[in-house]
Amino acid sequence: MTAIEAPDQAPTSMTNRQILQAMSGLMAGMFVAILAGTVVANALPRIIADLGASQSAYTWVVTSELLAMTATVPLWGKLSDLYNKKLLLQLSLGMFVIGSLLAGFSQGVELLIFSRVMQGIGAGGLTALAQVVMAAVIPPRRLGKYAGMFGAVFAVGTVAGPLVGGVMVDTSWLGWRWCFFIGVPFALLAIALLQRTLHLPTVRRDVKIDYLGAFLIVAGVSAILIWTSLAGNQFDWASWQTAALTGGGVLLLVAAVYVEARVPEPVIPLTIFRNRTVTLTTVASLLVGVAMFGGTVFLSQYFQIALGKSPTVAGLMGLPMILGLLVSSTVAGQIISATGKWKVYLIAGGITMTAGLALLSTIDANTGFGLLSLYMTVLGIGVGLLMQNLVLAAQNDVPASELGAATSVLSFFRSMGGTIGTSVLGAILANRVASELAKSLGTEGTASGGSSEAVPDVTKLPEPMREIVEHAYGLATADLFLVAAPFAALALVVVVFIKEKPLKTTSGMERLAEEARQAVADGDKPSSPTPVS
């Protein structure tokens, strides 16, 4: 049993001004996390070429951060149910600063990948905790309006990141290292703002952390994700390495389930999956992660290699998708707050996201920017309608004492889908590029400058070779969207079965205080039962 005490003063509903003050540091922290991911996107082809690394290293630089973030999101979410959320946010930002400094000073791809792991751990905390804190201070019925503000922060960070990164890469006296250094002052500002503006009551809970379960979850997930990252590249899909990683990962996860089902405070409470809304939104988040991250992470590479654009121009070319996301998430959030209806936006998002991916599967090295803009806008609108509202649906249907666990489960599966999607689609990209280059150049031509392993710098290739490489990357990138589209279609099927429930009008803090008082009145029964829907 878990003993909890009600806070000394019952929390009351916050005014709009108080909510905005509390959100300032949180939005600054999210801006840092988004900026760090996007500022590197346009710089990666130049970074990898500068460090003399391979296409598999390109994928690892992206995947390592996603892997670390994915594996640690459930831990951050559980900790937020037990300890001070503000301190945890500041700790995650601190780890992010360390990772950024290490990345900026990297002299080889190995240290760069390690630093991305550090950044990923910090991003895992921000990913899990930002939405938990929002749910703690804002009632679900009012959440749509403020989620739209976070959408604006997301859009600004996503737009500014590639532009800033492109300018830095193209500016000789700055260089790609400043893509990592630039986030440090913003992270320190976010830590200071959180200290000054975010005040949350702490409900004291007498618990023991499930360290064994945490270790088994992290180890099992890491084994599976490492397999998806390396299979088909470093070793064959059918090999002893595959058997060892998948078999070991499955055994570790089975052991984790066994442990989680028997401890009083599991990292991921298995009982939350009895809730139909949580289960369906979790499956949809996994599918959205595969489609969204897997389909879009290589867009910058497509702009620079297949279309021959500079990093700065590549940053500008991503604007249509971000603007589509910004407008759809903001408008939908306002309407949801006004009407209380949310399921229609999930369905519309699933349809639009599938259509956007299908349209992008038709691109090649000769596709005009007008068509590209249209296709990316459609995809952005779908993502904006779908992603945030999945979290809203789940948060609205769980006890306040499990907000952290439920929110982190959705973030965990979305990130895991993104990591798997990036890894598998990265392998598909590399194999398709190799096949196209071999078809165009033959063995001798490949050896003379068209290596499928190295990420080429098209600005240094002779004209005939450049056209061949651009064609290969154009076809390969279209294949990625063709593979991603069915996952978005499956997500649409899943959200159709989510039952729409009225949005609650009390915040997570108020609900938690009421649950604590009820538990005390009931003689300290287990504090966080999950309703079966």
- In terms of Cα–Cα distance, which of 70, 91, 27 is closest to 414? 70
Per the CB < 8 A criterion, the answer to whether 342 and 336 are in contact is yes
Instruction: Give the CATH number for residue 101.
Output: 1.20.1250.20
- In terms of Cα–Cα distance, which of 320, 293, 336 is closest to 127? 293
25 and 98 belong to one structural domain: yes
Question: Which domain, by its residues, includes 221?
Answer: 208-263
Q: What is the predicted pLDDT for the residue at 465?
A: 81
Q: What is the predicted pLDDT for the residue at 3?
A: 46
Q: Count CB-CB contacts under 10 A for residue 324.
A: 25
CA dist 208 and 30 (Å) reads 30
- In terms of Cα–Cα distance, which of 161, 91, 165 is closest to 124? 91
CA–CA–CA angle 238, 230, 249 (5° rounding)? 75
82 and 98 belong to one structural domain: yes
| Residues belonging to the chain | 533
Return the bridge partners of 339, or none: none
224 and 315 belong to one structural domain: no
Instruction: Please name the residues in contact with 467: beta carbons below 8 A apart, sequence gap of 6 or more.
Output: none
Q: What is the predicted pLDDT for the residue at 280?
A: 93
181 and 230 belong to one structural domain: no
Tokens read off for 208: 């023991």
Return the bridge partners of 235, or none: 231
CA dist 424 and 335 (Å) reads 37
294 and 250 belong to one structural domain: no
| 45-90 confidence digits (pLDDT tens) | 778 777 776 666 776 777 777 778 777 888 887 787 777 788 888 8
Whether 340 maps to a domain, the answer reads: yes
Q: Is the pLDDT of residue 205 over 70?
A: no
Mean pLDDT of the chain: 78
Per the CB < 8 A criterion, the answer to whether 458 and 311 are in contact is no
Whether 526 maps to a domain, the answer reads: no
Whether 531 maps to a domain, the answer reads: no
Whether 331 maps to a domain, the answer reads: yes
253 and 109 belong to one structural domain: no
CA dist 306 and 317 (Å) reads 13
User: Strands, E, within 117-245: which ranges?
Assistant: 205-206
Three-state SS letters, 449-481: CCCCCECCCHHHCCHHHHHHHHHHHHHHHHHHH
Whether 202 maps to a domain, the answer reads: no
285 and 274 belong to one structural domain: yes
How does residue 440 score in pLDDT terms, banded at 50, 70 and 90? confident
Instruction: Please name the residues in contact with 58: beta carbons below 8 A apart, sequence gap of 6 or more.
Output: 44, 45, 48, 301, 426, 455
250 and 274 belong to one structural domain: no
385 and 427 belong to one structural domain: yes
Q: Is the pLDDT of residue 455 over 70?
A: no
Helices (H), ranges, 363-458: 369-395, 403-447
How does residue 399 score in pLDDT terms, banded at 50, 70 and 90? confident
How does residue 420 score in pLDDT terms, banded at 50, 70 and 90? confident
Report the domain count for the chain. Answer: 2
CA dist 143 and 146 (Å) reads 5
pLDDT-above-90 percentage for the chain? 11
Q: Is the pLDDT of residue 215 over 80?
A: yes
Whether 126 maps to a domain, the answer reads: yes
Least confident of 110-114, 312-316, 343-347: 312-316
Average pLDDT for 366-381? 90
Whether 485 maps to a domain, the answer reads: yes
Counting Cα atoms < 13 Å in the Cβ hemisphere of 460 gives 8
User: What is Dmax (Cα atoms) for the chain?
Assistant: 80
Whether 528 maps to a domain, the answer reads: no
